[in-house]
Amino acid sequence: MFHAKLNEGLLIKKLIDSIKDLVSDINLEISPMAISLQAMDSSHVALVTLNLNSEGFEEYRCDKPMTLGVSISNLAKVLRCGGNEDALTLSCEDDPSKLKVKFENASKYIYLIIYLNI
């Protein structure tokens, strides 16, 4: 089980948007301590490294390490569905082929839950 909530979903949106033109597919390494990724661009000129420590999230839980293969362009499209002021929750059950993306607005109204088959 993996669960990470960030009250300012805009931060993740900006991070993903900034790397979507460099890399196409990424492996998110989920561990009890952090979410990380490392990927090369197609011409092997740029290396993208990202590490999001668990302390930076309002809620974070990872029962066991897992790797999620994600199309960065598809993830960027999904993240555009949420507003800039919305809280963002990423979660995954024990099946690492489905990433759940949930947006909540300030009044705690959940208005979009998307499952990415990755």
- 98-114 tens-digit pLDDT: 888 988 887 766 666 66
**Residue 70 and residue 45: Cα distance in Å, rounded?**
21
Q: What domain count does the chain have?
A: 1
**Residue 70 structure tokens:** 């994600």
Q: Which of 52-56, 59-63, 81-85 has the lowest mean pLDDT?
A: 81-85
Give the structural domain span for 59: 2-117
Q: Which of 39-53, 58-72, 95-109 has the lowest mean pLDDT?
A: 95-109
pLDDT higher than 90, residue 55: yes
Q: What is the CATH number of the domain that holds 94?
A: 3.10.150.10
The beta strand positions in the chain, using DSSP E, are: 2-6, 25-30, 34-40, 47-53, 59-62, 66-71, 87-92, 98-104, 110-117
| pLDDT value of residue 114 | 63
